[in-house]
Amino acid sequence: MAEERKFDRFGRYLILDHLVDGGMAKICRARFLGEQADKVVAIKMVQPQFSKDESFKTMFMDEIKTTFGLLHPNIVQTYDYGLQNDQLFVAMEYCDGRNLKEYLDQLKKRNFVFPVEISVYITIQSCQGLHYAHTFTDKLTGKPANIVHRDISPHNIMLTFDGSVKVIDFGIAKSETNSEATQAGTIKGKLSYLAPEYLDGHDLDPRYDLFAVGITLWEMLCSRKLFKASNDLAVLKKIQECKVPKPSSINPNVPEELDKIVMKALHKDRNKRYQTLEEFGRALNKFLYSTYPDFNASDLSYFAKELFKEEIKKDRERLYQFGQIDIKPYLEDMKREQEGEERPLKLLKLVLVMEQVREGSGTGS
């Protein structure tokens, strides 16, 4: 039973289970410990050795600076960050779902392809989140943030089981707040989702993310990778050539109008692509509802729940068990810890007051 097991407390959070164990950081599911209310969040915890590394700390803070102010239904929200037990951490909105790569893998296992209308809908939602990030202006300074994600791929698009689409992981995003310069000769982003202008050494702008969204849509429609080769160098050569087959040549269900939209998004010359993610999203939106007038956003939810039926059932049982945890001992433990931290401050204040009184009585004598 969940209540008999001892869970680890991480500051104001109760760690429930691990979602991802990476070399530099791990992502856990956690419960925010509140007297009145609590919620499930995702916490990214940096391993202690990297938390002490100054360059890593700078990179981590760059990500937080980039995303902390972003508030959009298609972007995972950042709630909290700091240092706890010598570990840098960030607490984020928990997405109850899977990333797009996992959906593609699951479909491949079953010899299915994403329905055209659902592929288009997912892309429209991604476009909306990214356009918001690209045009985001800091409300306190009035300065544009000039964010470019730079790492869009199926790994970084989350699809929740209730049908929401969320862009995640602005870890290497370029923005005005960045303090770290890109080292010469290092490739940032996943190889197969780079745009040709990256290899030509051009400055990156929102059209770079647009190209990666275009690749992602192409891969959903065709159920295969666009730029795939036996080694990294061959992949880079394919990106440079940028010879993209029409999606309909692989999947006959793709209408000609959608072919045109995808091919424009994946044009080698960025000046001949759509110039913003909003423009790309609008073209897809017009296509979606003129070709599939009965499509509804809830169709994605039905599709997701059918595809991951068994996983959802197991996870719901697990979350129900987490809901039975008696959090009182953890709240009391947290309270004692907070009081322990406050006691030295109270003593210091008392000493200062006593010294002021002594000085005051000394001058009066």
Task: Count other Cβ atoms within 10 Å, centred on residue 347.
Answer: 10
Catalytic residue flag (residue 62): no
Among all chains, which residue has been given the structure tokens 């989140």?
Answer: 129
Which tokens go with 275? 């110039």
Length of the chain: 365
How far is CA 65 from each of CA 158, 179, 185, 363, rounded to the nearest angstrom?
21, 10, 25, 50
Instruction: Supply φ then ψ for residue 173, to 5 degrees.
Output: -60, 145
SS3 of residue 334 by DSSP = helix
In the set 38, 151, 169, 209, the catalytic residue is 151
Rounded Cα–Cα distance for residues 70 and 102 (Å):
26
Residue 190 contacts residue 232 (beta carbons within 8 Å): no
Contacts of 320 (CB under 8 A, 6+ apart): none
Residue 121 contacts residue 175 (beta carbons within 8 Å): no
Q: Please, is 259 exposed, middle or buried when counting C-beta atoms within 10 Å of its C-beta (0-12, 13-18, 19+)?
A: middle
In the chain, the amino acid numbered 45 is: M
Rounded Cα–Cα distance for residues 364 and 360 (Å):
6
User: Catalytic positions, please?
Assistant: 151
